[in-house]
Chain A
């Protein structure tokens, strides 16, 4: 008890440097816990980029590739699905709904997705959240478009604005479908998914802009105006992929097999949850790197503590001699340093936890509004408690160094006070 009192009063006596040490520990611990929190939230958010969809079906390729282009709008499909096959497969009585996806065009670096109204009805993300409109509504006409939140924010589009779709997906595209502009009829609320960076148009619209194109280039001297195009048959001949919702989830494997065994063309059906988990696993490197970095920051914080304690050893030599003179055992001196490190580490960790909590609490509404990432409140979980235990343990271990030095000196010095 007297040791605790002596430690606390001694710390209080050196409160400025002690406070700085605690702040350094708190910041490093906050970083460690923050990284852990972000890692978890990123994983949750990533794994719930798409939910409520039982299968994603595309031309046969790798499951990660299919997931990347159909859900994350990264990369391109190697092949398409014919409209006829899609219609045939969608008629499966186990299927409740399907949403066709057609990719390939872009607008100022944002991917253009051709789909239908069902997309807004059935697409789910996060904890089975439906898409919501910040402004306007789903498209009705062929040349209507619905923008993801980030597209509208970055490009400053509003309802009624007209946009021109570029052919292909390269950022600087010269081949524009300039003759057939789309009118913004709706802007989605942020979702924190790649949806925010997507421009949604109708399948018919996508078909219309390509009506006077053959094999990826505009046929010169042959042009069909938007008005004329509307008179033509705009039913798409191919789509890139489609999403499937089943009547019962139990049928997922059966339907998946049906799709994969489809004779007319080689297809691949994936369970998005499984594919997402696989992809996250592949990205695991980044988690490890983050953890290693924050680990080193904590180590730096603790070494800072060690430096502060070591630098006070000389001025505290007298303190130790006095304590020895009034009857403290040498091991009391060692304990004094251990208790001190314990206090510093515990207070630092506590402060670090408070710091993370407050930061998350402050950032939460902003992140949700701006990016659609639904962050949960930070609360200490088992992992963070384990991390804190490691930090405190390390602090105790490091305190043995100044503790042992002081212990040895107190034996050498005896009752002689050296300064």
Chain B
């Protein structure tokens, strides 16, 4: 299955004279984890927002999971994202007022599909946390007491809940030292592959591309 298939994609902010993003062709097969390299200003945030269905391209075709999401309504795209995508941010992924476990199970509160795929939810969350190397004792800790590395792993567990087909990670390792980073990527790959999720990983750090079967230099392919 093609996770992403885009063709002649173009995006321009309203009232701007030039395109922010122009991509000719990009097809990602399932399991074909993609590393997107791009410095700030290269249009990577725009690309991620388009892939996640938050922005709609100005022109061109975009299929996510073989669905033409540009033709969906806003609400339907929100639903689609909730059902099929797990998202990991650079930092501060977690709601500080929820427990670790509640943070992990949050996607299941908004998507019935993912809730059903994660049944029994709490046990699944605990298993995921354990497999990501987080001791059980951590589930009762306050979020703000966790280290950055631990917080990012909790965020991975949340993104994986309910087996979404697509994991979008936006610089999730930038706050980690290199040992923690290697460990983090290892765990991310293992778990994503175990449940068949495809990772799209964005970073400005070119060194990370060696972990990925495929990489894309946005500065080079985006002429805009």
Q: Which A residues lie at the B interface, using CB under 8 A? A: 2, 6, 9-10, 12-13, 318-319, 321-323, 325-330, 332, 414-417
Assess whether A417 is in contact with B89, with CB atoms less than 8 Å apart.
yes
Per the CB 8 Å criterion, the residue count for chain B at the interface is 32
Which one of B75, B90, B106, B111 lies within 8 Å of A417 (CB-CB)? B90
Q: Which of A318, A328, A330 contacts B110 (CB 8 A)?
A: A328
User: Within the assembled complex, what's the spacing in Å between the Cα atoms of A181 and B32?
Assistant: 113
* Whole-angstrom distance between the Cβ of A315 and the nearest chain B Cβ: 11
The answer to whether B45 and A13 have CB atoms under 8 Å apart is no
**Chain B interface (Cβ within 8 Å of chain A)?**
45, 48-49, 52, 54-55, 74-75, 78, 81-83, 87, 89-98, 106-107, 109-111, 114, 158, 168, 170
**Assuming A327-B81, A328-B110, A414-B55, is B97 touching A322 (CB within 8 A)?**
no
Instruction: List the A side residues contacting B158 at CB < 8 Å.
Output: 326
Residue in A13, A327, A332 whose Cβ sees the most chain B Cβ within 10 Å: A327
Q: Which of B54, B83, B107, B111 contacts A415 (CB 8 A)?
A: B54
A326-B158, A330-B78, A415-B54 as given contacts; A9 in contact with B97, CB under 8 Å: yes
Taking a contact as CB atoms closer than 8 A, the residue among B55, B82, B98 that contacts A327 in the complex is B82
Question: B91's closest neighbor in chain A, by CB?
Answer: A417
| Measured CA separation A416–B40 after assembly (Å) | 13
Across the interface, do A326 and B52 meet the contact criterion of CB distance under 8 Å? no
Chain B residue contacts of A9, Cβ below 8 A: 95, 97-98
Having A325-B87, A325-B89, one finds 6 other A-B pairs with CB under 8 Å, namely: A321-B89, A326-B158, A327-B110, A415-B52, A415-B54, A415-B87
Closest to A413 in B: B54
Q: How far is the CA of A12 from the CA of B97 in the complex (A)?
A: 8
| Residues of chain A contacted by B89 (CB below 8 angstroms) | 321-322, 325, 415, 417
CA distance A414 to B54 in the complex (A): 6
B54 / chain A contacts, CB cutoff of 8 Å: 414-415
| Residues on A with beta carbons closer than 8 Å to the beta carbon of B97 | 9-10, 12-13
When chains A and B are docked, how far (Å) is the Cα of A392 from the Cα of B121?
37
B177 shortest CB reach to chain A, Å: 22
Q: A415-B49, A416-B45 are in contact. Are A327 and B107 (CB under 8 A)?
A: yes
With a CB–CB cut-off of 8 A, which chain B residues contact A13? 96-97
Q: Give the chain B neighbours of A326 by CB distance below 8 A.
A: 82, 87, 106-107, 109-110, 158
Rounded to whole Å, the gap between the CB of B100 and the closest CB of chain A is 13
Closest 9 CB pairs of A and B: A327-B82, A327-B110, A13-B97, A414-B54, A2-B109, A325-B87, A9-B97, A414-B49, A326-B106
> Contacts A9-B97, A10-B97, A319-B95 hold; do A327 and B78 have CB atoms under 8 A apart?
yes
Docked pose: A322 CA to B89 CA in angstroms: 9
- Chain A residues with CB below 8 A from B98, complex form: 6, 9
On chain A, the residues within 8 Å of B81 by CB distance are 327
Contact, CB under 8 Å: A414 / B52: yes
Taken together as a complex, chains A and B put the C-alpha atoms of A2 and B83 apart, in Å, by 17
Given contacts A414-B55, A415-B54, A416-B45, contact A322 B95 (CB under 8 A): yes
Tell me, in angstroms, the Cα distance from A250 to B213 when the chains sit together: 104
Which residues on A sit within 8 Å (CB–CB) of B87?
A: 325-326, 415
CA distance A392 to B106 in the complex (A): 30
CB distance from B41 to the nearest CB of A (A): 13
Nearest-neighbor residue (CB-CB) of A322 within chain B: B95
A329 touches B93 (CB 8 A): no
What residues on A are CB-neighbors of B109 within 8 Å? 2, 326-327
Also in contact, A329 and B52, with CB within 8 A (given A13-B97, A417-B89): no
Shortest B52–chain A CB gap in Å is 6
Residues of B within 8 Å of A329, CB to CB, are 75, 78, 110
Q: Closest B-chain residue to A14, C-beta based?
A: B97
Find out whether the CB atom of A2 lies under 8 angstroms from the CB atom of B110.
yes
In the assembly, what is the distance between CA of A178 and CA of B111, in Å?
94
Determine the chain A residues whose CB is within 8 A of the CB of B92 once the complex forms. Answer: 318, 417
Closest A residue by C-beta to B50: A414
Residue in B49, B75, B82, B95 whose beta carbon sits within 8 Å of that of A416 in the complex? B49
A361 to B106, CA, bound (A): 47
CA distance A325 to B158 in the complex (A): 11
Bound Cα distance A316, B139 (Å): 24
Contact flag A322-B107 (CB < 8 Å), given A329-B75, A415-B48, A415-B170: no
Min distance, Cβ A332 to any Cβ of chain B, angstroms: 8
Report how far A328 CA is from B78 CA in the complex, Å. Answer: 8
Question: How many angstroms from the CA of A115 to the CA of B127 in the assembled complex?
Answer: 94
